Amino acid sequence: MSTPRTTAAGKVLNVLAAFDREHPSQTLSEIAQRTGLALSTAHRVVAELAAWGALERAEDGSWHVGLRLWEIASGCPRTQILRDVALPFMQDLYEVTHENIQLAVREGSELVFVERIAGHRSVELLTMVGSRFPVSSTGMGRVLLAYAPRDVQEEVLEAPLRAWTPHTVTDPRTLRAQLDRIRREQVFVSDRQLSETTVAVATPVRIGRTGPVSAVLGIVFTARDAGRARTLREPLLRAAHGISDELGRRTRTTV
């Protein structure tokens, strides 16, 4: 059976997809290798993308994502309103806690971080804006998984679950119990699931106080202060409720 030929658009998308957090800057040869394109084809596609502004060339000759691509991505309607609404509440939450404040949404079975506030004394994180993780890997992801459609939940629970640390829950039965508890209690404490040095407290963000879950808000802090989770619950809930109320108001006024 012959392999379908990659379209011109597909080649462009493959080149753009070659750039990620682990590969933010690449030579032309590396781009060709990662995409499977011939060097001459990669050269032509990269040149077209650079002329348009999607890629930029560094002084050492390597390539990285260009500013114009960032400008277009920042206008994504799914996250633009959410980030605009959430940021003031996240700033207030940071002033109260002085810890990492993160906002994320679900895409399929993955968690995508869309906003973050951190101080210079905040614990260092593996996550950053734009990064993706399986929803089962983080406390924030599990909050989103708890409110995901049933078929998404089953897809995640039936697949092998990665152990990021010795504390990561990988037993489907235990994870199901966690999802049930999240729906009952609304706040979830994730203890060293993604990193052995961090604990997270997370809660859902809705469209209106009782509407569908659209995002998750979380506070991430050092595992040495794990006992702080109890005191962070109320300010986290206040911020999430404020975001939810404002999202509900915006939705009502635009309908």
The CB-side HSE value for 149 (13 A sphere, CA atoms) comes to 6
pLDDT of residue 3: 46
pLDDT of residue 71: 67
Chunked mean pLDDT (size 10), the chain, 255 residues: 67 85 84 90 90 87 82 66 92 93 93 85 70 88 95 93 88 93 93 86 93 94 85 95 92 60
Cα–Cα distance list, 136 to 81, 180, 205, 255 (Å): 26, 14, 18, 34
pLDDT of residue 255: 44
Across the beta sheet with 198-206, the strand order is: 132-134, 110-117, 100-107, 213-222, 198-206, 188-191
Contacts of 128 (CB under 8 A, 6+ apart): 21, 113, 116
pTM, rounded to two decimals: 0.74
pLDDT of residue 244: 96
pLDDT of residue 243: 95
